[in-house]
C-alpha cells in the first residue's frame, strides 16, 4: 500500500539526528543509487581513536544501513566525499604519523565503505584539505589544499593532481607575500576548474575571489578575479548555474557585531551579473554563513547555511541561537522566501542538494537536539518551497506516550476515513503519525473539506493530531 506515492509509515519529509554521547560532526554527503545517501563526518564516539572519520549510509527515509570508522592513532578530519567510476574518494586531513601538525590524506573506498587505497600528501608544513573534483575525461582528481609557510607564517594554496588510487601526478605550492586560500572546487570545460576563495591581496580585511585553475601537462596555473569591498569578505562555496555562470557564496562583516550573507553570480571571467546581500538588518555575531548553493531550475537557487538573529522582523527566524537557514532567490537574484530550522542552541547546515526524488536535503550539525555534545542534523523537505516544518523524530516520538482526547470537535474514525464534525475554526490542520513518531500524512481542513482518507494506510496503530489556533487534540486509533 502507498500513501501519496510513499511507502506507508515511511515519510519523505523529516528531520533526523545522528550521534552518540559525545561529539559527532558533519563534513559532506552525496546521493547514491536507489535514493540512498552516504554521510561523511567526524566522531569521538563509537570507539574512535581521538577523532576518526565517520562514514555511514542511509536510505531515502533516513534509516541507517551501515556505519564505518576510518582513522589511525591521531586526529582525522573529513572534508569531502566524491563519486568515482566504481568507488568513492574521501578527502581529509590527519595528524597520525604526520611530519608536521597535519597532512592531507586521500582515501579510495568501495561501495561498502572499505578502504581500497590511501595516500598522504605532505609539504613538510601544516597542510589543510579544502576540496576535491573529478575530471571525467581522464578520471584524474584535482585536490585543493592550503599550507602554512614555516618561515613567513603566510597561508597559501596548494593543488595536486592524483589518480583515483592516490598516485600523485603533480603538485604545486603557491607562495606569495599575502595570505589567500581556496574554498570549494568545481570542474569547468576542458582543462579548467573554478573555485571561490578568500584573498588578502588588495587589503588586510580580505575579499572574496573567483579562482580560475588551468591544469597543464607540466604545470598548474591560477588566476584570480577579486571582488573588492569596504567590508571584510570571506568566500565559502561555489556552484554552477544552468546557463554556465557561477554562484559564489560568502559572508561580509559590517563591524564586530554584524556578519551578513552574500552571493555573487558571475560569469567565468569574473564579471558580476548580480549580487545579493541578505539579512543585513537582522544578523548578529554568530555562525552566519552561506555554506551551500542549490540550483533549482530556470536559474533560480536556494542558499543554505546558518544565521543568528535575536530581534528580527523576518518571518520564521529567531529562536535565540544559531539556526539552519534556507532562503531562495529568483533568476535575477531577488529574494523570494526563507525558512529556518533549529532550537535555542547552535544549529547549521553545511550542504544541501536537490535529490533525485525531487526533495531538498540539508545536512549539518546541531547541539539543540540529539544525544550528545554535538550531533549530525539532517532535514529533508518534500517540496522545494515547503513551508511546513518537517517532523523531528526526537520530538514526535513523545506523541506516542499516551492516548489523549481533548477537543470540542467530534472525531469519527472509520476504516477508510476520518470525519471531523462541527469544524468551525479556520486554519485547522491535521497530522497522522505512526507509533514511532514518524509523520505519515498531513494537510489542511475546512468545513467543506472535513474528510481525511486513510484507506491506503496499512493496518496498525496511529496517532492523529488535530491542530487549530486555540488548541491541539490527539487521538490514538487502530486501522484494521
H helix or E strand, kind and range, residue 248:
strand 246-253
Residues in the chain: 480
Residue 98's pLDDT is: 57
Segment among 17-26, 38-47, 162-171, 271-280 with least mean pLDDT: 271-280
Residue 285's pLDDT is: 57
Q: Which is more confident, 206 or 387?
A: 206
Mean predicted confidence (pLDDT) in 52-75: 90
Mean predicted confidence (pLDDT) in 6-13: 46
Q: Which is more confident, 192 or 149?
A: 192
Mean predicted confidence (pLDDT) in 137-144: 95
Tens of pLDDT along 312-349? 434 445 455 566 778 778 888 887 777 777 777 788 88
Q: How far apart are CA 377 and CA 22, in angstroms?
A: 15
Tens of pLDDT along 236-246? 999 999 889 99
pLDDT tier at 163 (50, 70, 90 boundaries)? Answer: very high
User: What DSSP designation does 314 have?
Assistant: S
Q: Which is more confident, 361 or 3?
A: 361
Residue 261's pLDDT is: 83
C-alpha cell at position 245: 555562470
Segment among 35-39, 196-200, 293-297, 393-397 with least mean pLDDT: 393-397
Task: Report yes or no: 431 and 389 within 8 Å, Cβ to Cβ.
Answer: no
Is the confidence at residue 10, as pLDDT, over 80?
A: no
Q: Which is more confident, 203 or 347?
A: 347
Q: How far apart are CA 366 and CA 390, in angstroms?
A: 16
pLDDT tier at 302 (50, 70, 90 boundaries)? Answer: confident
Residue 37's pLDDT is: 96
How does DSSP assign 346-385, residue by residue? BEEEEEEEE-TTS-EEEEEEESSSSSSSBEEEEEEESSTT
- Report the predicted TM-score, pTM, of the whole model to 2 decimal places: 0.76
Mean predicted confidence (pLDDT) in 210-231: 92
Per-domain boundaries in the chain: 9-386, 399-479
Q: Which is more confident, 309 or 102?
A: 102
pLDDT tier at 101 (50, 70, 90 boundaries)? Answer: confident
Phi and psi of 174, rounded to 5°?
Answer: -100, 125
Q: What percent of the chain has pLDDT over 70?
A: 80
Residue 116's pLDDT is: 96
Is the confidence at residue 287, as pLDDT, over 70?
A: no
Residue 426's pLDDT is: 60
pLDDT tier at 220 (50, 70, 90 boundaries)? Answer: very high
Is the confidence at residue 429, as pLDDT, over 70?
A: yes
Average pLDDT across the chain, whole number: 80
Q: How far apart are CA 279 and CA 288, in angstroms?
A: 10
Is the dihedral angle over the CA atoms 151, 152, 154, 160 positive or is it negative? negative
How far is CA 460 from each of CA 4, 44, 69, 182, 355, rounded to the nearest angstrom? 18, 39, 37, 53, 30
Residue 407's pLDDT is: 38
Mean predicted confidence (pLDDT) in 353-376: 84
Task: Report yes or no: 307 and 288 within 8 Å, Cβ to Cβ.
Answer: yes
Is the dihedral angle over the CA atoms 318, 323, 324, 325 positive or is it negative? positive
Q: CATH topology for 9-386?
A: Methylamine Dehydrogenase; Chain H (2.130.10)
Q: Which is more confident, 421 or 383?
A: 421
pLDDT tier at 11 (50, 70, 90 boundaries)? Answer: low
Closest CA to 225 of 253, 255, 245: 245
Q: How far apart are CA 109 and CA 128, in angstroms?
A: 21
User: Quick check: do 9-386 and 399-479 share a fold?
Assistant: no
Is the confidence at residue 104, as pLDDT, over 90?
A: yes
Segment among 310-324, 378-392, 396-410 with least mean pLDDT: 396-410
C-alpha cell at position 191: 582543462
Most confident of 141-155, 179-193, 249-263: 179-193
Is the backbone of residue 14 left (phi > 0), alpha (psi -120 to 50) or beta?
Answer: beta
Is the confidence at residue 459, as pLDDT, over 50?
A: yes
Residue 28's pLDDT is: 97
How does DSSP assign 163-214, residue by residue? -TT--EEEEEE---SS-EEEEEEEE-STTEEEEEEEE-SS-SS-EEEEEEEE
State the architecture of 399-479 in CATH terms.
Sandwich (2.60)
Which residues share a beta bridge with 473? 466
- Pairing state of beta strands 259-266 and 272-278? antiparallel
Mean predicted confidence (pLDDT) in 122-136: 90
- Label residue 260 exposed, middle or buried (CB < 10 Å: 0-12, 13-18, 19+): buried
Angle at 332 between CA 236 and CA 284, to 5 degrees: 45
Amino acid at each position: 500500500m502507498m500513501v501519496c506515492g510513499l511507502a506507508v509509515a515511511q515519510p519523505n519529509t523529516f528531520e533526523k539526528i545522528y550521534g552518540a554521547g559525545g561529539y559527532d560532526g558533519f563534513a559532506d554527503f552525496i546521493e547514491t543509487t536507489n535514493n540512498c545517501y552516504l554521510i561523511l563526518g567526524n566522531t569521538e564516539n563509537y570507539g574512535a581513536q581521538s577523532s576518526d572519520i565517520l562514514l555511514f549510509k542511509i536510505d531515502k527515509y533516513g534509516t541507517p544501513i551501515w556505519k564505518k570508522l576510518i582513522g589511525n592513532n591521531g586526529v582525522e578530519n573529513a572534508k569531502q566525499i566524491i563519486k568515482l567510476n566504481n568507488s568513492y574518494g574521501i578527502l581529509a586531513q590527519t595528524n597520525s604519523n604526520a611530519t608536521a601538525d597535519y597532512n592531507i590524506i586521500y582515501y579510495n573506498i568501495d561501495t561498502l565503505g572499505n578502504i581500497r587505497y590511501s595516500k598522504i600528501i605532505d609539504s613538510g608544513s601544516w597542510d589543510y584539505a579544502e576540496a576535491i573534483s573529478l575530471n571525467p575525461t581522464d578520471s584524474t582528481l584535482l585536490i585543493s589544499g592550503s599550507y602554512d609557510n614555516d618561515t613567513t607564517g603566510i597561508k597559501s594554496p596548494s593543488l595536486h593532481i592524483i589518480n583515483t588510487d592516490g598516485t600523485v601526478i603533480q603538485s604545486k605550492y603557491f607562495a606569495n607575500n599575502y595570505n589567500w586560500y581556496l574554498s570549494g572546487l568545481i570542474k569547468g570545460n576542458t582543462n579548467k576548474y573554478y573555485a571561490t576563495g578568500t584573498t588578502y591581496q588588495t587589503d588586510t580585511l580580505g575579499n572574496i575571489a573567483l579562482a580560475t585553475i588551468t591544469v597543464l601537462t607540466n604545470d598548474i596555473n591560477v588566476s584570480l578575479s577579486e571582488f573588492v569591498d569596504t567590508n571584510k569578505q570571506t568566500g565559502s562555496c561555489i556552484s554552477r548555474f544552468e546557463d554556465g555562470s557561477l554562484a559564489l557564496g560568502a559572508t561580509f562583516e559590517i563591524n564586530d557585531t554584524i556578519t551578513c550573507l552574500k552571493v555573487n553570480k558571475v560569469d567565468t571571467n569574473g564579471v558580476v551579473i548580480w549580487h545579493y546581500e541578505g539579512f543585513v538588518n537582522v544578523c548578529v555575531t554568530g555562525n552566519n554563513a552561506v555554506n551551500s548553493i542549490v540550483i533549482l531550475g530556470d536559474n533560480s537557487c536556494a542558499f543554505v547555511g546558518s544565521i543568528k538573529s535575536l530581534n528580527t522582523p523576518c518571518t520564521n527566524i529567531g529562536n535565540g541561537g544559531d539556526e539552519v537557514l534556507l532562503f531562495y532567490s529568483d533568476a535575477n537574484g531577488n529574494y523570494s522566501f526563507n525558512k529556518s530550522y533549529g532550537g535555542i542552541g547552535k544549529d547549521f547546515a553545511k550542504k544541501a542538494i536537490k535529490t533525485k526524488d525531487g526533495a531538498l536535503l540539508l545536512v549539518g550539525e546541531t547541539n539543540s537536539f540529539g544525544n550528545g555534545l554535538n550531533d549530525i542534523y539532517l532535514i529533508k523537505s518534500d517540496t522545494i518551497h515547503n513551508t511546513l516544518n518537517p517532523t523531528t523524530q526526537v520530538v514526535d516520538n513523545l506523541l506516542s506516550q499516551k492516548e489523549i482526547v481533548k477537543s470540542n470537535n467530534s472525531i469519527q474514525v472509520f476504516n477508510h476515513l476520518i470525519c471531523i464534525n462541527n469544524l468551525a475554526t479556520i486554519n485547522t490542520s491535521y497530522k497522522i503519525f505512526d507509533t514511532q513518531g514518524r509523520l505519515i500524512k498531513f494537510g489542511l481542513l475546512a468545513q467543506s473539506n472535513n474528510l481525511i482518507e486513510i484507506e491506503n494506510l496499512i493496518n496498525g496503530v496511529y496517532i492523529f493530531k488535530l491542530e487549530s489556533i486555540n488548541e491541539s487534540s490527539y487521538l490514538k486509533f487502530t486501522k484494521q
